[in-house]
Structure 1
């Protein structure tokens, strides 16, 4: 498929593109596979063959990164992270909306990718609060049977503005399953 010289040249160019991406976007885990493929000017099958044969790049889902790359927060970003986590966690199930956080999108994305935050509709919950919501809704349904949005809203002491996207998120994770106007336990409660 590739001559040795062609393979080496592709490897050099790929490393350059990925390194440039890491430099420009240090809070991202890696470059999107499709962006790298287009940057190298390769067709999908040739690109897949190249990635399968190279050991100089690491694939993580739809992302490609240099093996040594890790997302590391600078001191200012670390302070922002701490402030955001505290602010969002204190909001319980009615945290500030994303626009009100005043946080860089790259930082929010990095915290979501690291598992510290969970994006739900137009707001974020801390991972702890998201699991707490999942547990409270599961217990509600186990005790009361299928629950309406109003029952879930009341159980979480929040408003409909938050309860609706939270129910949609629970559906998408398999924790609940929508059945008309109620939620029943899903396949992954």
Structure 2
């Protein structure tokens, strides 16, 4: 799979049928996050890191219904896997906002700054919308990055593209850790 390529839930579900370790996501030799492609430069390394974390988020949510996706962690937190997907869609859009594009928020409003979390309700249409928004925003982010040959470019004026990309990877890494705990609470599946 190419960096930036996103798959449907059925494909992700196929990846999560481990036979070696049933509580894990994929057999070590079949883990879609691991590729034979070697990265030799900064761009390739950063894009591969982003691809890896995006796939991890998809895998952590694979096979869950709307109720499970919307299940909150522990009171008073509003965190859920569905909320994470919505939040990361906002994050993908924020990437381009930081880089200078004038874009409205997807879920958050001045009245509800936590709309990405608060609107994560157990409704199949809400789940479908979240995945569609996330995939569309990730694709737009990938196209945006591809438009710059030099990661030292400052598209928004203040911050280099590489710094925005590193921050995006850190955001995914942090939330993949949350997803580990949320998924384990739902059905016992553990991180890999």
State if a TM-score over 0.5 links the two structures: no
Between Structure 1 and Structure 2, the one with more strand by share is 1
Q: Which structure is richer in relative contact order (CA contacts within 8 A, separation 6 or more)?
A: 2
Rg: which structure is higher?
1
Give the TM-score taking structure 1 as reference length. Answer: 0.25
Give the TM-score taking structure 2 as reference length. Answer: 0.25
